[in-house]
Structure formats: structure tokens, C-alpha cells
Amino acid sequence: MKRGFYVGRFQPLHEGHEAVLREIATECDELVVGIGSADKSHSVDNPFTAGERHVMITRTLATLDVEAFVVPIVDVDRNALWTSHVKSLCPPFDVVYSNNPLVTRLFEEEGVEVRELPMFNRAEYEGTGIRERMLSDDPWEHLVPETTVEAIEDVDGVGRLQEVASDDAAEE
Ligand code: ATP
Ligand code: MG
């Protein structure tokens, strides 16, 4: 039985993440998905709550043939302690999937096997670019699964992002 671990901020979950999840599901019997920076929300870099991201992830996992556990992981802001923090919160896992150099480095220093996956259309499937599109009212819906579109529309996610990005109302 092999259990894989994959962590992201999923702000929001996009087609690149879905492709990664689909790939890992073929390699592992079970999957642990960590919601990174779970304590962050309502900001330009982290607009969505852990609960809202949980919905995006769970609905995507439901389309895959894999047993999965979704675990919110709050920031500890101490990289040297982060892998212990993750392990303290998650079901035990055998292999980490990551394309993020810091995540890879931290787990490899602990002797954990890390597998890299190909980047899928990174030019478009990137959280930062998708949030920028939302901010400037450009189309973004085609870059995320339909379930993510629904989760974002349910909470007026674009309106929230635009509002938290704007300055305080000018005083007279
Ligand atoms: P942001 O720009 O906000 O950092 P992101 O697209 O990098 O968003 P993350 O939640 O930071 O999304 O990514 C989680 C993991 O998914 C990381 O390991 C990242 O390298 C990987 N990843 C992100 N985009 C893709 C993609 N298009 N193809 C494959 N892996 C991806
Ligand atoms: Mg990233």
C-alpha cells in the first residue's frame, strides 16, 4: 500500500493541480492532500479560506479513482520545523510529490522520497496569473475545473479578491 502526499496553497485549485492529482492517483493507492497556508484568507495572495479550498479539492478528488484525505496545514513560519509540523497533522505517507523547490528540499533533508512531476501548461495554469486575471476582469474560468468555478462563484470570490485588493476609500 503506497500513500502519497501533495501540498499546495490552491489559491485557487487549477487545471495544473488537477492534472497532478490525476497522475498521482495512478501511482498511489491513497493520497494525502495538504492545504498549505490554511490560516490565510481574504488577501490578494490568499483570497480563499481553507474551507473553500477544501471544497475545490474534495470535488476534484471525487472525479478520481483514489482514496484521499484532505488536511489543512496552517503556516508555522519556521521552515526548519515545517516537515515535522506536516507529519504531525497528516496520515503517514511514503512519498512526497512536489514541483516546489523549498518543499522538495525540506523533505529530502528529512530523508523522505520526493518525486517531481511534469509542469502542465505552466504558462497558463498558475495561481498567480489566475488571480491577476480575476483582478482585471479577464476570463479565468477556462483555467480551473468547473467545480472550482462553482466554489468561487458561491462565495463571490472574484468580488472579494477585487475588494481586498483595493485601497481604503479616499477621505475628503
Ligand atoms: P501560486 O502562483 O499562487 O504559487 P501555483 O500555481 O504555484 O500558485 P500552488 O498551490 O503554489 O499553485 O502549487 C502547489 C503545487 O502544485 C506546487 O508543487 C506547484 O509546483 C505545483 N503546480 C502548480 N502549477 C502546476 C502546473 N501547471 N503543473 C504541475 N504542477 C503545478
Ligand atoms: Mg506556487
What is the radius of gyration, based on Cα positions, of the chain? 16
Q: Amino acid identity, residue 94?
A: D
Give the predicted TM-score (pTM) of the model.
Answer: 0.96
Rounded distance between C-alpha atoms, residue 163 and residue 6, angstroms: 31
Which pLDDT score, from 0 to 100, does residue 170 have?
Answer: 61
CATH code, domain with 56? 3.40.50.620
Q: What is the pLDDT of residue 52?
A: 98
107 C-beta closer than 6 A to ligand 1 = no
Q: What is the pLDDT along the chain (172 residues), one digit of tens a residue?
A: 999 999 999 999 999 999 999 999 999 999 999 999 999 999 999 999 999 999 999 999 999 989 999 999 999 999 999 999 999 999 999 999 999 999 999 999 999 999 999 999 999 999 999 999 999 999 999 999 999 999 999 999 999 999 999 987 766 5
Write down the pLDDT at residue 171: 61
Q: What's the pLDDT score for residue 167?
A: 82
Assign 3-state DSSP to the chain and report helix, strand, coil percentages, each to 5. 45, 15, 40
Q: Which atom of ligand 1 is nearest to the CA of 124?
A: 27
Q: Please tell me the distance between residue 124's alpha carbon and the centre of ligand 2 in angstroms.
A: 13
* pLDDT score for 101: 95
Cα(156)–Cα(77) distance, integer angstroms: 29
Instruction: Please choose from 9, 37, 95, 148 the residue to mutate so as to test ligand 1's pocket, defined by most ligand atoms within 8 A of CB.
Output: 9
Regarding the beta carbon of 127 and ligand 1, being less than 6 Å apart is answered yes
Distance CA 100, CA 42 (A): 24
Instruction: Count how many domains the chain has.
Output: 1
Instruction: Give the amino acid at 100.
Output: N
Q: Which residue range forms the structural domain that includes residue 151?
A: 3-171
CA-CA distances (angstroms) from residue 123 to 15, 38, 73, 127, 148? 12, 26, 27, 10, 19
Query: Nearest ligand, CA of residue 33?
Result: 1
pLDDT at 172: 58
Which has the closest alpha carbon to 93: 21, 28, 158?
Answer: 28
Going from the Cα of 166 to the center of ligand 2, the distance in angstroms, rounded, reads 23
DSSP-derived 3-state class of residue 100: coil
Q: Which of 53, 99, 124 to mutate to test the pocket of ligand 1 (most atoms within 8 A of CB)?
A: 99
Check: CB of residue 35 under 8 Å from CB of residue 151: no
